[in-house]
Structure 1
Amino acid sequence: MGAAGSSALARLGLPARPRPGWLGVAALGLAAVALGAVAWRRTRPGRRRRLQQVGTVARLWIYPVKSCKGVPVSAAECTPLGLLSGHLRDRFWMVIKEDGHMVTARQEPHLVLVSVSHGNNCLVLRAPSMDELVLPNKLPSSNKLHNCRVFGFDINGRDCGDEAAQWFNKFLKTETLRLVQFEMDMKGRESRKIFPAFVQNYQVAYPDSSPVMILSEASLADLNTRLEKKVKMENFRPNIVVTGCDAFEEDTWDELLIGGVEMKKVLACSRCILTTVDPDTGVIDRKEPLETLKSYRLCDPSEKQIYKSSPLFGIYCSVEKIGSLRVGDPVYQMV
């Protein structure tokens, strides 16, 4: 994968392109509190952008191990590679087959029953009828480096050791799995390889497509009015849950400011069979809520080459300016 203008500094968490600072930050904060109103930002001479509040952050989630349970957090740093809280990084660990291909809840639905926590510089994994698995944050450099495959693209992963492999194999009743960790000096998958037609230039570790995924509470509520068996936000695994907006209003958000973080919409989030895995039981339905979403959330025919027959639910975003965000932060659209 070509660097396409990105630098090693960007991969280490520094912004790829500096942006001018905010004008009148104090005035903006006072106006937002007093009026819930509109503020202005000057990005370059002759151009002003309006900040319109479109919602509020209701929940933040980090999913350290791909397809395993998320960890709710009250605040997080938003890096170019996604959310970070303490030593928990979003989708920096992944289960693979011995040949390096990723394994998710699409193939092993019971992965959604594995919970993750952190303590004493270790990652702690728990699952039903299993002893806990304790992994160090930093793995020995002597551990094997795997060439992994995520949706057909190459990315490295450091093997987490035989104990971790045996733990997942025992829980999932197989013999062919390993656990790997992404390290900060590794090269992520590049957006211009994943989405050749799109202009944002960013990298991702083991997430499907982008560093951040956003979904609104109203969109989930709308879907649940159409379902006989209600589903949870956990079926859809967003990083940022927004409240205080209309259903599917997030489809229209192109550029956002949340806390100190600027984000830009990449694409709508196309949904797959993983959404049919019950997060409480690990049972895969293979039909709902996917079939209902397909009945009213397909893309415009002009975008079918991008999304094909997958329904759309939530948005993928790139991180344009790093910073902090927390539950309760206003969500502003930059117009």
Structure 2
Amino acid sequence: MGAAGSSALARLGLPMSRLSAQPRPGWLGVAALGLAAVALGAVAWRRALPRRRRRLQQVGTVARLWIYPVKSCKGVSVTEAECTAMGLRSGHLRDRFWLVIKEDGHMVTARQEPRLVLVSITYENNCLILEAPGVDQLVLPTKLPSSNRLHDCRLFGLDIKGRDCGDEAAQWFTSFLKTEPFRLVQFETNMKGRISRKIEPAIVQNYQVAYPDCSPILILSDASLTDLNTRMENKAKMENFRPNIVVTGCDAFEEDTWDELLIGDVEMKKAMSCPRCIMTTVDPDTGVLDRKEPLETLKSYRLCDPSEKKIYKSSPLFGVYYSVEKTGSLKVGDPVYRMV
């Protein structure tokens, strides 16, 4: 066999015959080369398969985009955003890159301090401006001195770092919440995030998040909220559920069926459904924790399939967590495509 045929077979991992050193008719060499070419072509075709352009099916439109800079505080509505691997960004405004902690480093959310939902945030001149009832506003630079202390923080049993935002911010949250001393920390992009598979072993994707519960993106549809509210006397708001992307133009709970999405030039993949907790029962207007609704109503018809009980237990499902497979930009009004 010729050298070209030998190398082709070698690349394919095909064994050379004991008789390969003996002279062979020319047609055998040609046939071997042809076979190798076909096999190489098949390998190349198989490798190219995942990159073939998939069919796009529009399933809705982006109605709202929300960034929640400080975990459990009010969201900031934006008309467009960059979608990074760790969530939405608008300038230095990053999703859940700030966190209130106790002095021992344990996270504090509206589950423990429901009045956190009353803290509103605006963004001006590279500063977060925080406002809340009964206290003066806090102007917080998004760039912190590297000399500020690093905290070892604890979120849902996992460790993560946070840069202390200073005594003024600590005193501001302590004065507002009036329960115990608190600190505010900021996640920095050079820090290591929490690993998805440590957060929930059922998640297939391998990604990192800063201070979100589970994933960089949470999607919920208008229709799902409408469906829930047909079953409740006191209506819930979208703010009860804190999604990053609100989709309109689809049926209720249709988002449960979406696996891979294209929005703008951002590609996302479903990580898991969002299991809901008492956080949803905090009134976003009063900061009062109800502990019942809308959670009880959701439990009446949105529990997981019995086969998934190990993952979700008794938590009702409302909204879907996504990982970011391809970063880019997106905006309100963008079509939401399902990639099939």
Settle same-fold status: TM greater than 0.5: yes
Kindly indicate whether the alpha-carbon contact (under 8 Å) linking 1:256 and 1:332 is maintained by their aligned counterparts in 2. yes
Of 267, 285, 297, which residue of structure 2 is paired with 1:292?
A: 297
- Alignment correspondent of 1:325: 330
Q: 1:45: how far off?
A: 7.0
Q: 1:129: how far off?
A: 1.5
1:81 pairs with 2:90: no
CA distance in 2, matches of 1:202, 1:45: 20
Give the unaligned 5+ runs of structure 2.
Answer: 1-46
- Alignment correspondent of 2:216: 211
CA offsets per residue over residues 45-97 of structure 1, 9 Å max, x none? 79552100000000000000000000000000000000001111000000000
- Alignment correspondent of 1:53: 58
Instruction: State how 1:88-107 maps to structure 2 within 5 Å.
Output: 88-107=93-112
CA distance in 1, matches of 2:265, 2:197: 26
Scaled by the length of structure 2, the TM-score of the pair is 0.85
Q: 1:174: how far off?
A: 2.4
Give the superposed CA RMSD: 1.3
- Alignment correspondent of 1:63: 68
Percent of paired sites with the same residue: 81
1:163 pairs with 2:165: no
- Alignment correspondent of 2:14: none
CA distance in 1, matches of 2:90, 2:200: 28
Q: 1:280: how far off?
A: 0.5
- Alignment correspondent of 2:192: 187
Of 123, 134, 142, which residue of structure 2 is paired with 1:129?
A: 134
Distance 1:43 1:321, change over 3 A: farther
- Alignment correspondent of 1:147: 152
CA distance in 1, matches of 2:250, 2:149: 47
User: Match of 1:334, as an amino acid?
Assistant: M
- Alignment correspondent of 2:259: 254
CA distance in 1, matches of 2:62, 2:261: 12
Distance 1:175 1:140, change over 3 A: same
CA distance in 2, matches of 1:265, 1:157: 28
Distance 1:261 1:45, change over 3 A: closer
User: Match of 2:319, as an amino acid?
Assistant: G
Of 237, 244, 262, which residue of structure 2 is paired with 1:239?
A: 244
CA distance in 2, matches of 1:43, 1:58: 35
Q: Structure 1 runs of 4+ off > 4 angstroms?
A: 45-48
CA distance in 1, matches of 2:90, 2:265: 15
Distance 1:46 1:73, change over 3 A: closer
- Alignment correspondent of 1:199: 204
- Alignment correspondent of 2:118: 113
User: Match of 2:62, as an amino acid?
Assistant: V
Scaled by the length of structure 1, the TM-score of the pair is 0.86
Q: 1:175: how far off?
A: 3.0
Kindly indicate whether the alpha-carbon contact (under 8 Å) linking 2:202 and 2:311 is maintained by their aligned counterparts in 1. no
Q: 1:43: how far off?
A: 6.6
User: Match of 1:145, as an amino acid?
Assistant: L
Q: 1:333: how far off?
A: 0.3
CA distance in 2, matches of 1:46, 1:199: 20
Deviates more, 1:150-159 or 1:116-125: 116-125
| 3-state SS, counterpart of residue 175 of structure 1 | coil
